[in-house]
Copies of this chain bind each other. A is one copy, B any other.
Amino acid sequence: MGKQTPNVKIIPLGGLNEIGKNITVIEYKNDIIVIDCGIIFPEDEMLGIDVVIPDITYLEKNKEKIRAIVLTHGHEDHIGALPYVLKKINVPVYGTKLTLGLVENKLIEKGIKNATLNVVKPGQKTKLGSMVVEYITANHSIPDAVSLAIHTPEGAIVHTGDFKIDYTPINGDMMDLNRFADLGSRGVLALLADSTNVERPGSTMSEKTVGNTFNDIFKTAEGRIIVATFASNVHRVQQIINAAVMFNRKVVVSGRSMINVVRVSTELGYLDAPEGTIIDINDMNKYPDNEITIITTGSQGEPMAALSRLASSDHRKMELIPGDLVIISATPIPGNEKTVSRVINQLFKKGAKVIYEALADVHVSGHACQEELKLIHSLVKPKYFIPVHGEYRHLNQHAQLAEDLGMKRDNIFIMENGSVLELGRSYAKVNGSIPSGNILVDGLGIGDVGNIVLRDRKHLSEDGLIVVVVTIKKENGKVVSGPDIVSRGFVYVRESEDLMDEARRVVRDVLKECEKNQITDWSTLKSSVRDALRNFLYQKIKRNPMILPIIMEV
């Protein structure tokens, strides 16, 4: 339906002007390839929301065109929305072994059984309709990450995925710069590249530097060592295990997602611990403190994670003891600074020694800084460039970087989610847009919480609620019971009895007034009560609770 223009379309459905929810559509004639399928964590004002997934209306409408969802790596912001999306459009999924191992785990948890998961390897190519997807080794803070080259009839599109260039990677292959160079030499139509760290000069340090810090710390530690990090950072976990082995310590794994990832990545061969190194948490007490290392979740101060539970003496199987050395091997994701700081304070108070990023090199980023980005741009030499994976400030800065390297501004597209970029061998233009945006997930409800509900939650959270109930006689509108006033989240009722008495009097007066004026229609009655009470409370105490007048008729 509609005329088929012979061009490639690039449509980001998420991941632009935000860090998270990565999902990009590549479309050519009757074929669609979807790259990644991630969630984003809710903004502060999305009260009560669990996660946010992309709007996939466009994909549902073009279901029959979709050849595959292709994954770059196994982070939540790239795979987290799969269980929701596969429920609506069950298409084949392609990804590397670890990525799909993590996906499988996630699908089982959500009870999805009929997914088609195809394991691929770097260097391999997959023909998907009129396009061919090629997987290229990339370095990132999770093993088995790939960049993609999508070979279309109009030219190759290179998508870096999340990456850094690590010349000394752990247990893994280095970013395949040669292949990027090769593609660049042959001509690349468009580059989509990670913008997360574009504000940082220089290069991101190798993951290996963290291992060196671990070794230094482990060498002199006298008590237990507890290391908190991202569960998915398997290389980090490997380095902790390596340091433990080197300094004769057993390893205990704690926290649900850490246990999961360690299991999956060990099974698939991404994590290697000598027999007997990893012990059960219940056997920990059989060893002296200086022979124990604990690897745990909670590096973001998440209240339910193992480290936070330890810090607040709320862990079922462990207790912090003075002399414990805690390493927080992570940096707070923006928005988590205060929760992380709270956990650090609690740990110190309990007598632990705490080492975190401000004090030692116990973390490196998984994203490329300016010099690495320049290298990729220079190797790939794309005709067109679309910065991705970043807030506007990052996309903007990345566009500037490309321009500084000599690209024409007209060939750089700072896009928005939902915008449609049409590309041919010698042209590119943004042409219209399709539906995109945030779908809020709250419990089992998907999309049933929107602006009105959030506005009410905000109102309730700030000043609480007053319910006014009155029963009136159907025939004559006379009050036969009430007004009763119930408040929640407003004031300590016991210490504010006078205020509540006065409030009741205000409502009674309004109702009398209405009765006198023979006002019986409910909406007028309700708004009179609401207005009078709101004015009274604001004057009295400068607060503005939600007021819910309810009229019952008998």
Query: Which residues of A pack against B, CB within 8 Å?
Result: 17, 43-44, 47-48, 199-200, 334-335, 337-338, 341, 344-346, 348-349, 354, 358-359, 391-393, 396, 442-445, 448-450, 452-454, 456-465, 467, 469, 471, 480-482, 484, 486, 488-492, 495-496, 540-543, 546, 548, 550, 552-554
Contact = CB atoms under 8 A, between A and B. Distances in A.
Could you say which of A48, A199, A443, A444 has the most chain B C-beta atoms within 10 Å of its C-beta?
A: A48
B486 A47 contact: no
Given A344-B393, A345-B391, A460-B465, 20 more contacts: A44-B44, A44-B338, A48-B489, A345-B393, A442-B463, A443-B542, A444-B541, A445-B541, A448-B491, A449-B491, A450-B492, A453-B491, A456-B488, A456-B489, A457-B461, A460-B489, A465-B465, A471-B471, A486-B550, A550-B550
Contacts of A460: 457, 460-461, 464-465, 488-489
B471 A481 contact: yes
Contacts of A445: 491, 541-543
Contact of A469 (B199, B469, B546): B469
B481 A341 contact: no
13 contacts: A48-B461, A48-B464, A199-B358, A199-B359, A341-B391, A345-B391, A354-B393, A453-B464, A460-B464, A467-B548, A469-B469, A471-B554, A552-B552
A326 B463 CA distance: 35
Nearest to A354: B393
B448 A496 contact: yes
A552 B484 contact: yes
Contacts of A467: 467, 548, 550
B443 A543 contact: yes
B335 A452 contact: no
A465 to B, nearest CB: 6
B550 A17 contact: no
Contact of A444 (B338, B459, B542, B553): B542
A489 B344 CA distance: 34
Nearest to A490: B453
B334 A495 contact: no
Contacts of A349: 392
Contact of A481 (B461, B546, B554): B554
Contacts of A358: 199-200
A410 to B, nearest CB: 17
Contact of A462 (B47, B337, B496): B47
Nearest to A445: B541
Given A335-B338, A354-B393, A548 B345 contact: no
A454 to B, nearest CB: 8
A309 B47 CA distance: 23
A402 to B, nearest CB: 16
Contacts of A465: 460, 465, 488
A494 to B, nearest CB: 10
A541 B543 CA distance: 32
A401 to B, nearest CB: 12
A459 B495 CA distance: 21
A334 B337 contact: yes
B486 A548 contact: yes
Nearest to A468: B550
Nearest to A47: B461
A488 B467 CA distance: 12
Please give me the 5 A-B residue pairs with the lowest Cβ-Cβ distance, nearest first: A443-B542, A461-B461, A456-B489, A460-B460, A48-B462
B543 A495 contact: no
Contacts of A464: 48, 453, 456-457, 460
Contacts of A44: 44, 338
A529 to B, nearest CB: 14
A157 to B, nearest CB: 26
Nearest to A200: B358
Nearest to A17: B345
A186 to B, nearest CB: 34
Contact of A348 (B48, B346, B396): B396
A354 to B, nearest CB: 7
Contacts of A462: 47-48, 457
Given A335-B338, A471-B552, A489 B392 contact: no
A348 B443 contact: no
A392 B540 CA distance: 39
A482 B550 CA distance: 11
A134 to B, nearest CB: 33
A285 to B, nearest CB: 28
A48 B491 CA distance: 12
B552 A481 contact: yes
Contacts of A338: 43-44, 334-335
A540 B444 CA distance: 8
